[in-house]
Amino acid sequence: MVEENYVRRLAEKLTSNGFFEDGEVAEQFARRFTNAMEAKVGEQGVEVPTVDRVVEVLGCMLYGVPNVERCRYDSDIVDAIKWAINTTKCYEELMKYVIRTRFGREPSGELLELATHYLSLLDIWIEKSGISEKGIREYATPSIVASAALAIAKAEKGDPRHAIKMLEGGEAKSIITRLRLREFIEWLGGLGKANNG
């Protein structure tokens, strides 16, 4: 079983590392993550990861990094993180982290509002396009990274298409194909025309 102070230590680490600004949300996330891992502890070969390992995996996931050499992680940890994100709905907290650390911007109210808007549309898109019936619940962290990029592109360039350039520059480029972002942006253009017509 998980040691008694694991949730508190994980919440403190997530807050001190900047993933969460709100300590209460960090604790809710840590508790949900821990509950999900405890459910897996009885399964063969599953161990509770260290607090540092959880932080490391979450960091990799929020950079949109696939299972590459520097970011090898167990699917049990990934699944528990996804569960914790989706059950606490802490998307805005994690978008702030991505906007600040991945893209080097200050997560203003305008950017967060835009990112939340794009996250909602990505949820519809992921289901509508056949990527997954679960929407962002299946692709929580890639959707958070993509939404942040789309928001910055829209706010700074007036056009979400510039998000593709922002994501092509590094390991996160796999998000473009996984979420079919080019098609998504075309779909967004169609929505705009439909709303104006």
pLDDT tens track for 45-100: 678 889 999 999 999 898 866 555 666 667 888 899 999 999 999 999 999 999 99
- Res 93: pLDDT: 97
Domain boundaries along the sequence of the chain: 1-89, 90-197
- Res 172: pLDDT: 80
Q: Which among 3, 50, 49, 7 has a CA at the least distance from the CA of 26? A: 7
- Res 197: pLDDT: 44
Burial class (CB in 10 A: 0-12, 13-18, 19+), 177: exposed
DSSP state of 157: H
Give the tens place of pLDDT for each residue, 139-152: 999 999 999 999 99
Tell me how far CA of residue 120 lies from CA of 124, 143, 144, 146, in angstroms. Answer: 7, 10, 10, 12
Q: Which among 133, 126, 128, 134 has a CA at the least distance from the CA of 178? A: 126
Q: Which among 144, 141, 78, 152 has a CA at the least distance from the CA of 114? A: 152
Could you identify the residue written with the tokens 């090898």?
A: 72
Q: How far apart are CA 9 and CA 63, in angstroms?
A: 23
State phi, psi for 87 to the nearest 5 degrees: -80, -30
Q: How far apart are CA 191 and CA 180, in angstroms?
A: 16
Give the tens place of pLDDT for each residue, 152-196: 999 999 999 999 999 997 778 889 999 999 999 999 988 755 554
- Res 67: pLDDT: 57
Largest Cα–Cα distance of the chain, in whole Å? 59
Residues 123, 48: contact at Cβ < 8 Å?
Answer: no
State phi, psi for 102 to the nearest 5 degrees: -85, -40
Q: pTM here? A: 0.91
> What mean pLDDT do residues 113-130 have?
97
The neighbour count for residue 16, using CB atoms within 10 Å, is 11
The angle subtended at Cα 195 by Cα 189 and Cα 197, nearest 5°, is 100
